[in-house]
Structure formats: C-alpha cells, structure tokens
Amino acid sequence: MKDYKCKTALQFYCVLLACFLTTSCTTVFDKAHGYRGPIVVTIETEDGSVPEFPFLIKSAYSESCGHSSCGIDFGYKYFKTAYANEPITFPRERLDLLQPNAYASIEFTVTHPNYHHRGFPRGFAPTDADDPIHITFTVKPFAEQMNKVAGWATGPKQDMQNFTPDSREYKKADIRYRQARFNLGKTIKRHITVIKTMYLPHFSKRMQQRVIEKYQPIFRAWYYGVPETDCWNKMTCQEHILKPREAEYEGL
C-alpha cells in the first residue's frame, strides 16, 4: 500500500513538473511568447493605379469566438496612413491572449475615397522581433463595387419578365429586385459616410480640403446617379423613388 502511494505521488509530481516546463519555462525563455509583429503591410490596387491620396489602415486584435471572430476589439489598435505600393510597419506588441502562443486574429481595415472600404482579417503566429511579417492587401475601386451590387438586381429583373405580375414567382423576384436596388443606394450612402466620419478626421485641414475638392463632385454624381439613395425602407423603396426626392446630398 505504501509503495502504491509513493508511486502515485511520483506520477503526480512528474505531471506537475511537465506542466511547469511547458508553461512557465516557455514564458521565460521564449521571447516571442504572446508577442505579434512587427507586421509590414502593403496596399495594392486591383486596377494597378496609384491614387493621389494615401490609404488609412486601422488594425485591431480580437479574440476568437467559436469558428469566427467576436468582432470586439481587444488591442493592437493603430491607425496608419500609407500610399499604394509603399510598405508601412505596424509595431511589435504583446497581446492579451487566452493562449499566448496560439494564432492571433488581427484585422486590418483599409479606407480610401476611391476604393471599397473593407476589412482583411488574418491569423498571426508568434514571431521573433527580427523576423517581421510581410502581408499585401489588394483593394477594389469603389466604382467596381457599385457595379457588382447593381448587378445583383439584373437576375431578378429578368425573372420578373418571365412571369405574370400576379404570379408567386413574379412577386418573389420583385422582392429580390427591390432588395438589390435598395442595397445599392445603401452602399453608396455608407461609403460617403465612412469617408466623411472615419477617413477625413485623420488628416490635416489642408489635406482634408484637397480630398474634398477632388471627391465632392465625384460623390455627388454617385449619389444622384442612383435614385435609391433616397430610400430608408427596402419594402417601399421603389414607390418612394417615384416621388420628389427627400434626402439630398449633404457633402463631405
């Protein structure tokens, strides 16, 4: 009985020692433990052009929830500006991770008046300070994004022509068409709002004025080129746009 207790105690301390060596010792000797970066980000444009004004890049780390990100920013919050094809370095930082050496989900959100505003989530493993991570993000012109969203209404509109107005199929296609056109108007309004409230405030007054002078007429043309920018309700949007416009372009 005594030998059995000694053997059990020995096994317990062996397990305890193993846990110590794989956690505390890792923390002490592994300089990359919990750290991410530096991360070198380069923005390329899908059309190959180099715009006059820089891109605004926001970074944010969030813990993973199940199969996707929680969407709540926990750290690594930086705002940096960079021109197309010019690398910009985000610093090295120790993140408050649940598992320090697991992949960290960091999202880089790219904003520019002439390009589609979107986020690029990436997973990052620990790296040494002298081993920067290089990543490149490709952004799409906003005009192309408008064409893509507008194209979502093409199929439903064609379907409507194949059925009688009183049929169930026609009504279903009509709802899809209304939704697509409403989304187009919402996409344009959201882009203008993002540039006004998120992009411009990060620049000097002089730079803001230059951006406004260039993009004010472009945004105005986008806004009035789609009657659905006047809509607030997707179900009544098509009836709404037959009436005099209520929502006017407010400008940047």
pLDDT for position 62: 73
Residue 103 has phi, psi (to 5 degrees) of -65, 135
Residue 8 has phi, psi (to 5 degrees) of -65, -45
Contact at 8 Å (CB) between 66 and 126? no
Rounded Cα distance, 190 and 186, in Å: 6
pLDDT for position 3: 55
Assigned token pair, 63: 């813990």
Contact at 8 Å (CB) between 37 and 90? yes
Return the percent helix, strand and coil in the chain, to nearest 5. 45, 25, 35
Assigned token pair, 220: 């105005």
C-alpha angle with apex 186: 182 to 192, nearest 5 degrees?
A: 155
pLDDT for position 137: 97
What is the block-wise mean pLDDT of the chain (252 residues), using blocks of 10 residues?
A: 50 47 42 72 95 96 58 75 95 74 84 96 80 93 95 90 88 91 96 97 96 97 96 90 93 89
